[in-house]
Amino acid sequence: MLETTPAGVEFELSQFFSESRARATEYGSHYLALWDALEEAATGGKRVRPTLVLTAFSGLGGVDMALAGQVAVSFELLHTAFVIHDDVIDRDLARRGVANIAGRFTDRAFAHGAEPDQAAVWATAAGILAGDLALSEAHRILARLPIAGDMRVRLLDLLDRAVFVSAAGELADVTNALAQHPPGMDDVVATLDQKTAVYSFEAPLQAGAVLAAASDEDIATLGRFGRLVGIAFQLTDDLLGIFGDSTKTGKSVTADLREGKQTALLAHARSVPGWDVIDPLVGKRDLTEAEAQRARQHLTECGARHRVESLAREYAARAIDELERSALPAALRGKLATLAGSSVERSR
C-alpha cells in the first residue's frame, strides 16, 4: 500500500490554521470567518498529494518524515488554493454538496442584510483572498525549509512549474467550456494533464524524490509516471462523473452533464454519429434523472464509455511500463503500480 498520510501532516495543517486564526482575531470577525472557511476547505480531502510526496520520499530512502511532512503540507495547500480559485471562476457556491467559501460568505452576507449582488461581490472577495492565503503559505513552507540551497531551489522550481502549468490548464479548461469549436479528445487530455496531472501527481512525487536526494533518473521517471497516472485518474473521474455511484464517490452523476463540462466522454461522443441525441442534454440546467439516464445510455451505446475506459487503462499501463523500465527500488515500484491500478479501478 501507499504511505498513509501520517498524523504529522494533519497536525501541521491544524497548527497553521490555529496560529492564523489567533493572528486574524485582531482584524475582526469576518476575517476570522474567512480563516475558518479556509480551514474547512483544506479539511477532509483524500490527501492524495501529501501521500505521493511521502511515498516517493520514503521509497527512495528518505528518513526525516517531519521534513517531508512540510513539503506534503505545501502541496496540499497548493491544491486547496487551486480548488478555491477554480470554484470562484466557475461561480460555484458548493463543492460535493457542501457550501464552499463563496457559499459560506454568501450566507453570511445575507445574514448581515446584504442584497444578492452585494453578497456575490463579498463571496468572490472571500474566495479570491482565501486562495491567495493558501497559495502564499504553500510557497512559504518550501521557502523556509531548513535544507541546502540547491535542494530548496529544485523544490521551488517544481512548485513554480506546478503553478505555471496549472494556470495554463485552468485557462484552457475555461476556454474549452466557452469555445465555439468544442475540444477534441487530444485537447481534453492535454487539459487534464496541464490542469491536474502536473501539480497533483508529477510535482508531489518529484518533490518527495528531490528531498530524498534521489538520482536525476529516478526523479525523471517519477515525473513521467506521475503525468501518465494523473491522466488515468482524471479520465476515470470523467467516467465517475457520469457513471459513478454517488453514494460511494460523493460526486454527483448529473452535475457534469448539467454544467456541460467538456469531458473526454463528450469529446468522443461528438466525433461519432448520434451526437444530436445527446447534444440537447449537455448543459441543460434542469436536466431530469430520466434525461441523465438517456445521456448515460447514449454515451454507452455510442462507444464513448468504452473509449474512455480503454484510454484510462492505456495511460495506467503506460505508467506501469515506466516503472518496469526504471531503476526505482522494487518496493516503491510495487506501491506505485498499486496506485496506477487503483487509478482505473475505483469504486463506480
Instruction: Please report, as residue ranges, which positions from 193 to 212 form the binding site for a copy of itself (by CB under 8 A).
Output: 194
CA distance 212 to 151: 10
Total Cβ atoms within 10 A of residue 107: 14
- Residue 287 Cβ, how far from a copy of itself at the closest point, in Å? 19
235 binds a copy of itself (CB under 8 A): no
34 binds a copy of itself (CB under 8 A): yes
Task: Return the percent helix, strand and coil in the chain, to nearest 5.
Answer: 75, 0, 20
242, 253 in Cβ contact below 8 A? yes
CB closer to a copy of itself, 88 vs 299? 88
CA distance 343 to 286: 31
Q: What is the DSSP string of 110-143?
A: HHTT--HHHHHHHHHHHHHHHHHHHHHHHHHHHH
118 binds a copy of itself (CB under 8 A): yes
**Long-range contacts made by residues 150-156, C-beta under 8 angstroms, separation at least 24?**
151/210, 151/211, 151/213, 154/210, 155/71, 155/207, 155/210, 155/211
CB closer to a copy of itself, 165 vs 282? 165
CB closer to a copy of itself, 261 vs 307? 261
Instruction: Please report, as residue ranges, which positions from 4 to 23 form the binding site for a copy of itself (by CB under 8 A).
Output: 20, 23
Instruction: Please report, as residue ranges, which positions from 129 to 188 form the binding site for a copy of itself (by CB under 8 A).
Output: 129, 131-133, 135-136, 139-140, 142-144, 146, 149, 152-153, 156, 159-160, 163-165, 167-168, 170-172, 174-175, 177-180
CB closer to a copy of itself, 151 vs 331? 151
Instruction: Please report, as residue ranges, which positions from 74 to 113 form the binding site for a copy of itself (by CB under 8 A).
Output: 81, 85, 88-91, 109, 112-113
Instruction: Please report, as residue ranges, which positions from 322 to 341 form the binding site for a copy of itself (by CB under 8 A).
Output: none
Distance from the first to the final alpha carbon of the chain: 21
CB closer to a copy of itself, 51 vs 105? 105
SS3 sequence of 179-244: CCCCCCHHHHHHHHHHHHHHHHHHHHHHHHHHHCCCCHHHHHHHHHHHHHHHHHHHHHHHHHHHHC
CB closer to a copy of itself, 19 vs 301? 19
Interface positions with a copy of itself (CB under 8 A): 20, 23-24, 27-28, 30-31, 34, 81, 85, 88-91, 109, 112-114, 118, 121-122, 124-126, 128-129, 131-133, 135-136, 139-140, 142-144, 146, 149, 152-153, 156, 159-160, 163-165, 167-168, 170-172, 174-175, 177-180, 194
